[in-house]
Amino acid sequence: MSERIHASYFIETPYPVEQAIDVMAGEQSSGTFTRLASETDDLRANHGAVVEHIERLDSVDVPSLPIRPPKARDGTPLYQRAKVTLSWPMANFGPSLPNLLSTVAGNLFELKEFSALKLLDLTLPTDFARRYPSPQFGIAGTRQLSGVPDRPLIGTIIKPSVGLSPQATAETVRQLVEGGIDFIKDDELQSNGPHNPLKSRVDAVMPIIREHAERTGRQVMYAFNITGDIDEMIENHDYVAAAGGTCVMVAIQSVGLSGVAHLRRHCRLALHGHRAGWGLFSRSPYIGMSYIAYQKLWRLAGVDHLHVNGLRNKFTEDDASVIASARSCLTPMFDPPTPGCEVMPVFSSGQTADQAVDTYQAIGSTDLIFCAGGGIMAHPGGIGAGVRSLRQAWDAAVAGITLDDHAIDHPELAQALEAFR
């Protein structure tokens, strides 16, 4: 078992690569701008970050991010790109998620040596899995709570995002549960605002969910968005639990790593992680963090579900990135693997029956939540037909049948393909 933390980065620098990376390793461990007498060889050996690997890539004439130009050595500088891996001893900060973040994604982003610096991946010792409880329910637990043993959970998001009263929300929920939905979530904009307070929403929604569960033996999972201050989240979690709910949701970046890990330690329900604000990390190729690294932090903090967009989504993210993200959620993150550390990827944004086969072929798993908005609500046959069209599409995907072939004797699927393709 490795006792060091490894992090890999994409970098671009107008300085000699080894020199720039030494600055980066120094800044994030025992070094500073000037070598101090107290930074002894022993101290460096025990606490300095180690440059494990450098892979030189291409170079460019123009810096990718604004940078103070270095003093010209031989005319115009070239900006050399590279992939580098650094490692740190566990002794520096122990298995602490917030302090891991300060180290691998802290001051280094501001270093004058770099015109690009993006965190690509993290490899962590299993000490982290011992300190942090990781997902409580994960894939198996989510399936058990929602009574869906194998296929994807078919889900939706209450829309309009904000503005509905608790009663109007409950009326939408009634239609959805009668239509056969597995999973419903609040929008990330709908938390505990004065026009639709969380407790009033729970009071309005849960009787419908419970009554349906008593009648059918299967409880629809509703992810109540409890994003808020710490005490407020704990109180609202308890309220959802007392009302018989099975899931709460948080906007993970809005709450922060310490807050999500704290909520998880208290949590008795599935914890649905929304990544609102993710574009800050992902939009520029030259600054930020890959989802591969990002999702490890939040899995350790203890979410059970994590958003990944969806194929042919309405945002800027391309399909290859969506698939890599979803696979990362389903991949063990320690060596040896710790059981149950995988989380359910949540597909959403412009999803309809049309994406089911391609999604299944790309990730080879049904361990996911497949959220459709218009793909359900705007189905020509109504909400129930919308839900059935998605189940039919996933049946086809798993059976290896094309959507068009399956649509021949599945009219709801046929209608969905007609309407949404």
When asked if residue 233 is in the footprint of a copy of itself (CB under 8 A), the reply is: yes
Residue 135 vs 139, nearer CB to a copy of itself: 135
- Three-state DSSP at 289 gives strand
Q: Which helix (H) or strand (E) holds 9?
A: strand 4-13
**Closest separation in Å from C-beta 151 to a copy of itself:** 25
Residue 193 vs 339, nearer CB to a copy of itself: 193
Interface with a copy of itself (CB under 8 A), residue from 51, 243, 377, 401 = 377
CA 406 to chain centre: 32
Residue 274 vs 305, nearer CB to a copy of itself: 274
When asked if residue 362 is in the footprint of a copy of itself (CB under 8 A), the reply is: no
Identity of residue 321: S
When asked if residue 421 is in the footprint of a copy of itself (CB under 8 A), the reply is: no
Number of Cα atoms under 13 Å in the Cβ half of residue 185: 33
Site map (CB under 8 A) of a copy of itself, residues 35-64, x = contact: -x-xx---xx-xxx----------------
Instruction: Find, among 236, 169, 238, the residue nearest to 208 by Cα.
Output: 169
Interface with a copy of itself (CB under 8 A), residue from 18, 55, 130, 193 = 193
CA 25 to chain centre: 28
Contact 124, 333 (CB under 8 A): yes
b/e per residue, 52-61, with b = 16+ CB within 10 A? eeeeeeeeee
Instruction: Find, among 413, 384, 379, the residue nearest to 396 by Cα.
Output: 413
Report the site for a copy of itself in 198-227 (rule: CB under 8 A).
227
When asked if residue 283 is in the footprint of a copy of itself (CB under 8 A), the reply is: yes
Rounded distance, CA 210 to CA 219, Å? Answer: 7
When asked if residue 191 is in the footprint of a copy of itself (CB under 8 A), the reply is: yes
Number of Cα atoms under 13 Å in the Cβ half of residue 113: 19
**Closest separation in Å from C-beta 283 to a copy of itself:** 4
When asked if residue 174 is in the footprint of a copy of itself (CB under 8 A), the reply is: no
When asked if residue 69 is in the footprint of a copy of itself (CB under 8 A), the reply is: no
When asked if residue 97 is in the footprint of a copy of itself (CB under 8 A), the reply is: yes
Interface with a copy of itself (CB under 8 A), residue from 10, 137, 281, 298 = 281
**Closest separation in Å from C-beta 408 to a copy of itself:** 28
Of the listed pieces 73-81, 155-163, 241-249, 334-342, which binds a copy of itself according to CB under 8 A? 155-163
Interface with a copy of itself (CB under 8 A), residue from 120, 145, 189, 362 = 189
Contacts of 118 (CB under 8 A, 6+ apart): 9, 10, 11, 285, 286, 287, 288, 289, 290
When asked if residue 286 is in the footprint of a copy of itself (CB under 8 A), the reply is: yes
Rounded distance, CA 357 to CA 37, Å? Answer: 63
Q: Which helix (H) or strand (E) holds 254?
A: helix 252-255
Residue 119 vs 269, nearer CB to a copy of itself: 119
DSSP 8-class letter at 69 = P
Report the site for a copy of itself in 330-359 (rule: CB under 8 A).
350
Residue 91 vs 408, nearer CB to a copy of itself: 91
Residue 278 vs 360, nearer CB to a copy of itself: 278
Residue 67 vs 270, nearer CB to a copy of itself: 67
Residue 29 vs 219, nearer CB to a copy of itself: 29
Asked, as a colleague might, if the bond just before 160 is cis with ω within 30 of 0, I would say: yes
CA angle 316, 318, 320 (to 5 degrees): 160
Contact 398, 374 (CB under 8 A): no
**Closest separation in Å from C-beta 348 to a copy of itself:** 11
Report the site for a copy of itself in 237-266 (rule: CB under 8 A).
251, 253-262
When asked if residue 230 is in the footprint of a copy of itself (CB under 8 A), the reply is: yes
DSSP 8-class letter at 159 = S
Interface with a copy of itself (CB under 8 A), residue from 24, 108, 202, 397 = 108
Report the site for a copy of itself in 299-318 (rule: CB under 8 A).
309, 314-318
Contact 314, 349 (CB under 8 A): yes
DSSP 8-class letter at 123 = E
Contact 10, 117 (CB under 8 A): yes
When asked if residue 141 is in the footprint of a copy of itself (CB under 8 A), the reply is: no
Interface with a copy of itself (CB under 8 A), residue from 146, 219, 282, 389 = 282
